[in-house]
Amino acid sequence: MVRLAHLRYPGERARLAVVVDDRAAFADDLIDEAPRDLQELIERGDDAVAALEASAGEAGERADTWHPIADLRYASAVQRPPVILAIGANYAAHSAELALKVEKAPTVFSLWPNSLNAHESTTAWPAELSEQVDYEAELGVIIGKPARNVRVTDALDHVFGYTVVNDITARDLQFSEAQWSRCKSFDGFTPTGPVVVTADRIPDPQDLWLATTVDGRLLQDAPTSGMVRSVAELVSYLSRSSTLLPGTLISTGSPGGAGYSRTPPIFLRDGSKVTVSCSGIGSLTTYCRVE
């Protein structure tokens, strides 16, 4: 399958689109009664995905169907997920630099939907709430089929695709409260994208590479093979207690290199540009504004 995104022309609503190289075709230009977003496409199942893929292929080079990406604006790659689950302390280096204990079971918390944000958008926060806002490059996993008590060996069969997540975190709140959801769920604190790549294009999610640059400086650079618990293990573990519904987004943890742990610390500031990348998926850029 080609890549999927939510794109729009300035002033218009975002629409589901197929992305090929530097151009995109909107789903509602490709098929009749098209899904309005990724969530609806996932809920319709494999046949809907195959129909969209076939129509994109049949569209060929038709100029009336394909639009230059440079003329469009992104929305969050994930829209209306049933839940956003995040995994903490899933890379040993990151756990060590934040003085976090690697527990026998994964550390799981939720992110609030208002935190979703788009590639090349601005994330703003009030200065009085946090002066220690940090970046975290993460691989995002999107569930495609209901997963309930699945085995590790079968877990990846329930994955629809993958995206890039920047798990932006207010560190001063994180270490002053008993939970991690609020410090990571400010408006716009969970950029996703720029695209979702279907699982058939990424046969091994542990064979990818994550990187973060802030204002042109490379600060995170690590393989997903460094996860304490693999994507398959996480999906299996989470499915034991609750059914993972189609469209669920799982943010799988960040490698070492966080700004909080550096000497001196490096935090996002007014005017910062942070780009989180994952091989095989793309680069997700966020602009920062302190209010």
Express each pLDDT in 15-59 by its tens digit: 999 999 999 999 999 999 999 999 999 999 999 999 999 999 898
Residue 120 lies in a domain: yes
Same domain, 122 and 180: yes
Given a contact cutoff of 8 angstroms between Cβ atoms, the answer to whether 5 and 24 are in contact is yes
261: left (phi over 0), alpha (psi -120 to 50) or beta: alpha
Residue 239 lies in a domain: yes
Same domain, 89 and 46: no
Residue 79 lies in a domain: no
Nearest C-alpha neighbor of 274 from the set 182, 169, 173: 169
Other Cβ atoms within 10 Å of 210 Cβ, number? 26
pTM, 2 dp? 0.95
Instruction: Give mean pLDDT, residues 211-234.
Output: 97
Q: Could you list the residue range(s) of the whole structural domain that residue 224 is in?
A: 84-290
106 confidence band (pLDDT: 50, 70, 90): confident
Residue 276 lies in a domain: yes
Residue 18 lies in a domain: yes
Number of domains in the chain: 2
